[in-house]
Homo-oligomer: A and B are copies of this chain.
């Protein structure tokens, strides 16, 4: 159950490899899909929007690198992790793979334990998006991402994740007006669909908690961080 809903697309022309990887992944309850060349991979990727694509470099029809570059142009797949399978020291492929937008590569021969631990680490990595850990100080308000705290005149305020990220986003560029669009994509991510009112509610909670008036509403446009 634990890894259900983490979708993995395996792409390789060798049926044996596909099967052994599938076996190992399904044992860990991952959602596994397969394709046997680059073209099929693109097709399937569009359908299932996998979180992780593990793809051989050398394949008939369309090689992994071309497929990877293609996949990277698809909006819904921007956040997918793409990993290449390469024969040991297939040096050039590795480089080309990373250049085409791959995130890592795994060298054959594949050892199940190592393979699974890598998959696990990709899974965790994608969750913990790169967050800016820059300390922001504006007048009497300090935002400390490392400690996940907002400090106002020495008083430490704890904000929940979304509220914190939202405030951090706005405070990252004071006076810039962030549209709802921008806020959604930066705080919620492109793949999540939530109603418009959700942002308002979060803004309200932030205002309530930090007391001072630092978020200004720009009607019809969005919100902006301003220290009076």
Contact = CB atoms under 8 A, between A and B. Distances in A.
Interface of A is mostly: mixed
Contacts of A43: 98-99
A116 B220 contact: no
A165 B149 CA distance: 25
Nearest to A22: B89
A181 interface: yes
Interface size class of A (residues with CB under 8 A): 35 or more
B34 A91 contact: yes
Contacts of A89: 19, 22
Contacts of A120: 193
Interface stretch (A58-66, A135-143, A184-192, A207-215): A184-192
- How many copies of this chain are found per oligomer? 2
Contacts of A34: 91, 94
Nearest to A148: B177
Contacts of A35: 95
Contact of A224 (B18, B148, B161, B181): B148
A103 interface: yes
A190 B195 CA distance: 27
Interface string A1-33: 110110000000001001100100010000001
Interface in A139-186: 146-149, 158, 160-161, 175-177, 179-181, 184
Contacts of A224: 147-148
A201 interface: no
A94 B221 contact: no
A117 B4 CA distance: 10
Contact of A219 (B36, B160, B177): B160
Given A18-B91, A22-B89, A34-B94, A161 B221 contact: yes
Of A22, A43, A161, A193, most B-chain CB atoms within 10 Å: A193
A140 to B, nearest CB: 20
Given A95-B40, A104-B47, A117 B190 contact: yes
Of A1, A94, A98, A224, most B-chain CB atoms within 10 Å: A98
